[in-house]
Amino acid sequence: MTDATLELMLAQNATLGEGVLWQGGRWWWTDIEAATLYAWQPGSASPQLCRLPDRLGSFAHCRSGRVLLGLAKRLAIATLGDDLSLTQLRTLAPVDAAEPRTRINDGRTDRHGHFVFGTLNEAKERRPTSTIASFYQYSMRHGLRRLALPAVAIANSICFSLDGRTMYFCDTLSRRIQQCDYDADTAQVDNVRLFTQMDRDDAWPDGSVVDAEGCLWNAQWGAGRVARYDAEGRLMGVFTAPAPHTTCPAIGGEGGDQLMLTTARQDLGREALAAQPLSGSLFGLRLPRTLGVADTLFDDQDD
């Protein structure tokens, strides 16, 4: 797959756009710092939005049609109206209640419909050694279970192999993506090992997704790009965007051949924003073949 430049899909001014995915004929994403969930149907002039009571780090669609929300310090389940209005919100579990420095960050359902997510350290000066954030699995049956993975500063890049037996994850500040053996039923992890190391000093791994060929796509903060790696962690292609802070890729669309990417304006000064004013927007391109794999719906049937 040849390298390419992503095109503007929807102009936005997201402070911290994240977590994009395709569901029900629409692209969904969060602007974390704006505490807002968005949904956009291609061809529409603007997205629908849902204002939330706290920052939304990650989310997942449920089998029931509701939405699981990873708010800053809690998991909650929301019922949304047709216009995306919030009609009901119920807390499922507090997260890191005794640790004021962390908030929920990246998350995604595993192949069995459990929600797997991580937290980040919100201290103003984050360092690679400030590892107080963790990875968790949540299910209606078992509740919240901490995964036995090393503590991190910024949990990111959570996604799963096609058979669900391998979990990919990272500490963004380490500049490498790791993988481990993963058992969804028991929430057990083992054999933590390197998947790939960033090949540029300005590239910091953010959100990731696995495609229908088992390859991993990773958005790299600071480098303005999405990189595609094969199952062995070898770099296969690079897709650039006119925004330095690329945050999360997704592959979907009606034909499963649309790459979509969220970006952010956070940490960009006046000069940087003047040079790249589309930062915070959605970018994408049409892929030469169908590569999308639908996210598994969160199993809320026990609720």
| Region of residue 156 (phi > 0: left; psi between -120 and 50: alpha; otherwise: beta) | beta
Q: Say if 301 falls within a structural domain.
A: no
Domain-embedded: residue 298: no
Asked whether 278 and 30 are in contact (CB, 8 A), the reply is no
The Cα 264–Cα 253 span in angstroms is 22
Contact 127, 114 (CB under 8 A): no
Could you tell me the pLDDT band of residue 103, with boundaries at 50, 70 and 90? Answer: very high
Taking the complete model, does pTM exceed 0.85, yes or no?
A: yes
Strands 56-61 and 48-51: unpaired
The pLDDT tens digits for 75-102 are 999 999 999 999 999 999 999 999 999 9
**pLDDT over threshold 80, residue 4:** yes
Computed from CA positions of residues 103, 109, 114, 116, in that sequence, does the dihedral angle turn out positive or negative? negative
Q: Which long-range contacts (CB under 8 A, 24 or more apart) does 143-147 make?
A: 143/93, 144/75, 144/93, 144/95, 145/187, 147/116, 147/187, 147/189
Within 10 A of 25 (CB to CB), how many other CB atoms are there?
11
Retrieve residue 255's tokens: 């034909």
**pLDDT, tens digit (0-9, with 9 covering 90-100), for 122-138:** 987 667 667 899 999 99
Q: What percent of the chain has pLDDT over 90?
A: 95
Domains in the chain: how many in total?
Answer: 1
291 domain residue, yes or no: no
Instruction: Give the full edge-to-edge strand order of the sheet including 74-80.
Output: 56-61, 67-71, 74-80, 86-94
Q: Identify whether 223 is part of a domain.
A: yes
Structural domain contains residue 225: yes
Kindly indicate the confidence band of residue 301, based on its pLDDT and cuts at 50, 70 and 90: confident
**Is pLDDT at 303 greater than 60 in this prediction?**
no
**pLDDT (mean) for 197-208:** 97
In a domain, 258, yes or no: yes
Rounded alpha-carbon distances, angstroms, from residue 223 to 190, 205, 207, 257: 31, 10, 13, 24
- Write the pLDDT tens digit of every residue in 214-254: 999 999 999 999 999 999 999 999 999 999 999 999 999 99
Q: Is residue 205 part of a domain?
A: yes
What is the 8-class DSSP label of residue 194?
E
In a domain, 17, yes or no: yes
9 pLDDT band, cuts 50/70/90, is very high
Q: Which residue is listed with tokens 């994408």?
A: 284
CATH number, residue 93: 2.120.10.30
Read off the pLDDT of each residue in 64-72 and give the average, rounded to a whole number. 98
Q: Which domain holds residue 128?
A: 4-286
CA distance 162 to 280: 30
